[in-house]
A = this chain, B = another copy of it.
């Protein structure tokens, strides 16, 4: 199995509301590959999908469980500066996101906060001086 992640699919309760949050709220572009039951976004090297929560659980043959709690994962968007972290959290809040944690200096030497999307999926917005970003925005992880 090659060391690759192709798609992260998020289960959502209301696809129209989630799409509105990402498309109108954050200003992201949806791929033409989507339809009324699934949405895909090119995240620069990986694809983010939005799909009905029950349908996604059923696809993986898992019981759906309760939405809204911690799902055992977080998504992170690494910003280019401390100031950009604050700007992005403000933008997310203006788009209707719940701020889970305002940005603060963190023990590992960076600056980070969290917002939740309409289904409670947590996005960390972080500035990490040890993980520089390449020109194209991807994270330059040490080998």
Which A residues fall within an 8 A CB radius of B? 1-11, 26-29, 31-33, 40-49, 53, 56-57, 59-65, 67, 69-78, 88, 91-92, 100-101, 114, 119-122, 124-126, 130-131, 133, 137-139, 141-143
Contact = CB atoms under 8 A, between A and B. Distances in A.
B77 A69 contact: no
Given A47-B141, A60-B114, A119 B72 contact: yes
Contact of A42 (B8, B53, B88, B141): B141
B64 A70 contact: yes
A72 B71 contact: yes
6 contacts: A1-B27, A5-B48, A9-B74, A53-B72, A60-B114, A60-B124
A75 B11 CA distance: 11
Given A46-B46, A47-B139, 16 more contacts: A3-B44, A4-B43, A4-B44, A5-B48, A6-B126, A6-B138, A7-B124, A8-B73, A11-B73, A56-B72, A59-B74, A60-B70, A60-B74, A60-B124, A71-B73, A72-B119
